[in-house]
Amino acid sequence: MDNALGEPQTILLLGGTSEIGLAIVRELLSPAARKMILACRHVDKGEQAAAGLRHDALDVAVVSFDGNDTASHEQVVADIAAQHGDIDVAVVAFALLGDGAVTSKDPVAAAAVAHVNFTGTVTATIAVANRMRTQGHGAIVLLSSVAGERVRKQNPVYGGTKAGIDGFAQGLGDALEADGVHLMVVRPGFVHSAMTVGLDPAPFATTPEKVAQATAKGLRSRRRTVWAPGILRFVFSALRHLPGPVWRRLPLG
């Protein structure tokens, strides 16, 4: 349970090798933190990440988790809770970017991205939410993207999954408020990370660390939605209303 200052003692990262996810959990660490669980598909890479986080007062566990294996998500979360107790903050940070040129034409490739990014995120988030309902407290940070605000032709499957997740999260967040659980959506813009290496950065590109700072500030303020950087909220307020012919001509990468 969070301490008297609202600082989480147990933090779960679903997508335990995500650069943005790891930056967020580092930002959330305080002297109150006692346990961190990195749940990831590649356990060996998770152990490498854990080695840089462990210290005498912080126990960092690495567990196997596959965003694609939706049938396992409820049991994974149950096992984590059984071993580590209440989960104060869970960060849902796994996703596939996919090659838009491929996924917009190949149904199999499109389905693979859609299953992980939408179905997998939904099942994992509900599994965590159910656990927090039982606890009567907790916060979920769900990483989305500005790509879902108005889906670009360059990667419609990825953007479409983020649009779907945004809608899901807004509705689930409303339902969870009565149970003492807070759900916050984070919408980063282009983030310089391993996921975006080789891609041309979009305007207002940011870093995992800056996204993490905005996320931690949003949690402290009990925000429902966080934009990173914040200026993108106003940029997309304009972009979402542009006429289609104008939108399609914009050089957005």
Backbone φ, ψ for residue 40 (5° rounding) = -150, 160
57, containing H or E segment: none
Choose, from 65, 94, 118, 158, the residue flagged as catalytic. 158
Please name which of 198, 179, 168, 93 lies closest in space to residue 137, comparing C-alpha atoms: 179
CA 96/CA 31 separation, integer angstroms? 33
Taking the alpha carbons of 231, 236, 239, 241 in that order, is the dihedral positive or negative? negative
Known catalytic residue: 158? yes
* DSSP characters over 108-138: HHHHHHHIIIIIIHHHHHHHHHHHHHHHT-E
CA distances from 139 to 47, 49, 184 (A): 25, 23, 8
Which residues are CB-neighbours of 69 under 8 A, at least 6 positions away?
none
Give, to the nearest 10 degrees, the angle between helix 121-135 and helix 73-84: 40
Tokens representing 159 are 């953007």
Please name which of 105, 117, 14, 11 lies closest in space to residue 60, comparing C-alpha atoms: 11
Neighbours of 104 (CB within 10 A): 16
Catalytic residues: 158
